[in-house]
């Protein structure tokens, strides 16, 4: 039996330890915010955090992350109050929206390690996330806004 701690809640996982985390999250634990994109870890749609680091859940077996803290898009904020979520909403970033949970999780990881990224930092950090609709400029603008919002929150 494997214990998965997802969004602060412990879950007992009795299925195959080689099952990709994505399917454990979506099919077993019913966290449907994380999306399947390519199944090869190339597009970023399945990005979640494990102990604060972004990973591709479609290629990560459950057994590799047992006993670590997993954060999905649902775990950022129940009411969408995280600065990145607020910026995404404020700037109406999504077009189709399919890739956006992975985009948001990658942006959060970037801002956790670099509170004021420049355009080059953003391009590098987000290069593993594909948006088929091409909303890259809105994503970049939203990351800058989220950095400003986070600074305001910390300053108050």
Q: What is the mean pLDDT of each run of 10 residues along the chain (156 residues)?
A: 94 93 96 96 97 97 94 94 96 94 98 97 96 96 97 70
What pLDDT sits at residue 67?
87
Q: Are residues 98 and 147 in the same domain?
A: yes
> What are 67's two structure tokens?
């006993």
Q: Are residues 87 and 67 in the same domain?
A: no
Q: Are residues 150 and 104 in the same domain?
A: yes
pTM of the entire structure? 0.94
What pLDDT sits at residue 156?
55
Q: Are residues 59 and 11 in the same domain?
A: yes
The domain boundary, picked from 47, 75, 103, lies at 75
> What are residue 74's phi and psi, to 5 degrees?
-65, -25
What pLDDT sits at residue 155?
64
Look at residue 76 and give its three-state secondary structure: coil
Q: Are residues 70 and 7 in the same domain?
A: yes
The domain boundary, picked from 30, 47, 75, lies at 75
Q: Are residues 27 and 89 in the same domain?
A: no
Q: 46 is in which domain, residue-wise?
A: 2-75
């Amino acid at each position: 039996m494997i214990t998965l701690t997802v969004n602060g809640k412990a879950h007992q996982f009795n299925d195959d330890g080689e099952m990709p985390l994505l399917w454990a999250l979506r099919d077993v634990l019913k966290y449907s915010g994380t999306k399947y994109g390519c199944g090869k870890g190339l597009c970023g749609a399945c990005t979640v955090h494990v102990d604060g680091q972004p990973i591709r859940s479609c290629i990560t077996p459950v057994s590799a992350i047992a006993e670590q803290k997993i954060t999905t898009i649902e775990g950022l904020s129940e009411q969408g109050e995280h600065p990145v979520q607020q910026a995404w909403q404020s700037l109406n970033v999504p077009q189709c929206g399919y890739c956006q949970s992975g985009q948001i999780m990658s942006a959060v990881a970037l801002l956790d390690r670099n509170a004021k990224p420049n355009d080059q930092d953003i391009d590098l950090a987000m290069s593993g996330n594909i948006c088929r609709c091409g909303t890259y400029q809105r994503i970049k603008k939203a990351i800058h806004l989220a950095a400003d919002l986070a600074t305001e929150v910390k300053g108050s």
